[in-house]
Structure formats: structure tokens, C-alpha cells
Amino acid sequence: MEERRRARRLRALKGAKISFNSGNSVIDCLVRNMSETGARLKLETTAAVPERFSLIIIENGGAIPQRDCEVAWQTATELGVRFL
């Protein structure tokens, strides 16, 4: 299979939140790998996730600045996202 990513992804296991609807809707998730250009997220279900959202990653007890994302691919429990 040909690698199409522009940047190499590194393994990760970080708690995160998907935020949308002006911050009124939040879904917990895990970041499984991440690069400068995107990430793979693990969720209980991807059914309610919109095409674009903000990703808030929790590191060292605090949140890093949120990243705006769009869905690149999706399964029932995982998302591949591109950072905008």
C-alpha cells in the first residue's frame, strides 16, 4: 500500500476531546498517532462526529491549544483527521 501522508505520524496515547456546535457538544476520544498534518482518533462511536470540529488534546494535566480538523477517513470507532 502506498503511503500518502505528507508527514510521518508518531504513536501516541493521549486523552482528547472533540468539540463542535460552538463548544456546546463534546465527545471524549484518544489520540492514537499524530503528526504535523493530522491524527488518528479512537472513539466509542463516530456516528455523531461532524465533518469539521476542534480537537482539544490533554497533556500533563492541561489542554494544549485546540486544532481545527476535518475528517479524512472514518470507521465505526476510529477517525483519521487532517489539521486545518
Tens-digit pLDDT profile for residues 34-48? 999 999 999 999 999
CA distances 79 to 38, 62, 63, 83, Å, are: 10, 23, 20, 12
In this model, does residue 1 exceed pLDDT 60?
no
pLDDT of residue 61: 76
| Domain containing residue 58: CATH number | 2.40.10.220
Task: Look up the domain containing 69 and give its range.
Answer: 10-83
3-state secondary structure the chain: CCCCCCCCCEEEEEEEEEEECCCCEEEEEEEEEECCCEEEEECCCCCCCCCEEEEEEEECCEECCCEEEEEEEECCCEEEEEEC
Record the pTM: 0.86
In this model, does residue 3 exceed pLDDT 70?
no
Domain count, the chain: 1
Please report whether residue 5 resides in a domain.
Answer: no
Please report whether residue 4 resides in a domain.
Answer: no
Q: How many residues does the chain have?
A: 84
Q: Return the higher-pLDDT residue of 46 and 5.
A: 46
Tens-digit pLDDT profile for residues 23-79? 999 999 999 999 999 999 999 999 999 999 999 999 887 777 899 999 999 999 999
